[in-house]
Amino acid sequence: MQALRLADLEKLEVTEVPRPDAGERALVAVDRAGICGSDVKIVRGITQVAYPRILGHELVGTVVRSARGGHIAEGTRVLVDPFISCGRCVRCRGGRSNLCGNGALLGREVDGGFAEFVAVDDGRMLAIPDGISRDDAGFLQVLGVCVHAQTLVDVFPGQTGVVVGLGVGGLLHLQLLRTRGVRRIVGVTRSAAKRALAERFGATVTCHPDDAEDCVAELTGGAGADVVVESVGTVETLAQAIRLAGGGATVLLYGVTRAEAGRVDYVQLYLKELELVSSRAALIGDYARAVDLLADGVVQVAPLLSERFRLDRGTEAFDALRTRPEVVKVLLEVG
């Protein structure tokens, strides 16, 4: 089968590899696979993997061979939960398998979905209703991760929210906050194109990071925001999210900050009694909610699709994401 494989640091290649040996698992023919910011971090070596590795954890496809004893029939279109947990540890047994210490992610610790086929356990697939288009389905995994993060945060109608970073995750969080009743939302990004998208999704105001403090102060009469979503993953944006938060606010750490040093004004954590909430991956129930939100039209993803590339042009797809700041989401068309 064809696969987009990372042969070595910065060396992506389209190549022929053997089909995965599914064993007792289902064999899924991949239809769409989203390229995530974390895939780019792997290519650049910021996140390390063993080479060669087929990347890709945002995937949807069709079951071409059911798992042994599985409940999902051949021909079913499915969303794949890419996180493989052990099922035995205290986190797994406590219903928090997304935090499993023995877990592995498709496309990171094991080969992933930038390939024609992938082997998946029956319990890690969810059927996708016909009403969701093929391209829209390609957003279900990342939407599920955003849904999971939102379930960890209490919001109340009428509050003020800020989303720092308006990539796919930020723009999905913006829509989820609005759906949950957050009345005024500020979107922060350097990209004018992404600010325009955020306004289309109902941001009250959008601004460049340099203007964010003034913008939030003006909107809240100096009180600061009730909930701030950090959706970039740098120390600078984390520090800004903390500055934009008001007293008693919640800061949701959605962006993954891998830096081990940097300046944060720690006294603000004390002065404001902030609640910092971190979020990791998603549970199968979060993916089920994502399917419902998309099927019911509560969340819009079509405007986030910047470009779609066939799998054999996968290296160009990564280049597009890395070199063009206006690009929001790139999907690989595999099926």
The binding site for Zn ion (CB under 5 A) comprises 36, 38, 85-86, 89, 92, 100
Closest CB to Zn ion among residues 38, 204: 38
Closest CB to Zn ion among residues 14, 89: 89
Q: What are phi and psi of 99, to 5 degrees?
A: -105, 10
Nearest Cα neighbor of 231 from 161, 310, 171 is: 171
The tokens for 334 are: 């595999």
Q: Rounded to the nearest whole angstrom, what is the least distance from the CB of residue 311 to Zn ion in the complex?
A: 18
Tally the C-alpha atoms within 13 A of residue 104's C-alpha that lie toward its C-beta: 12
Q: What are phi and psi of 258, to 5 degrees?
A: -100, -5
Report in angstroms the alpha-carbon separations of 24 from 66, 150, 161, 276, 322. 9, 34, 46, 41, 38
Q: Rounded to the nearest whole angstrom, what is the least distance from the CB of residue 90 to Zn ion in the complex?
A: 8
Closest CB to Zn ion among residues 55, 153: 55
Q: Rounded to the nearest whole angstrom, what is the least distance from the CB of residue 144 to Zn ion in the complex?
A: 10
Q: Rounded to the nearest whole angstrom, what is the least distance from the CB of residue 172 to Zn ion in the complex?
A: 12
Closest CB to Zn ion among residues 38, 257: 38
DSSP E strands, the chain: 2-8, 11-16, 26-34, 53-54, 58-65, 77-80, 83-84, 104-105, 117-120, 125-127, 160-164, 184-188, 205-207, 225-230, 245-253, 275-278, 305-310, 329-333
Tally the residues of the chain. 335
Q: Which residue has the tokens 């696979």?
A: 33
Q: Rounded to the nearest whole angstrom, what is the least distance from the CB of residue 168 to Zn ion in the complex?
A: 9
Q: Rounded to the nearest whole angstrom, what is the least distance from the CB of residue 22 to Zn ion in the complex?
A: 22
Closest CB to Zn ion among residues 186, 299: 299
Closest CB to Zn ion among residues 27, 33: 33
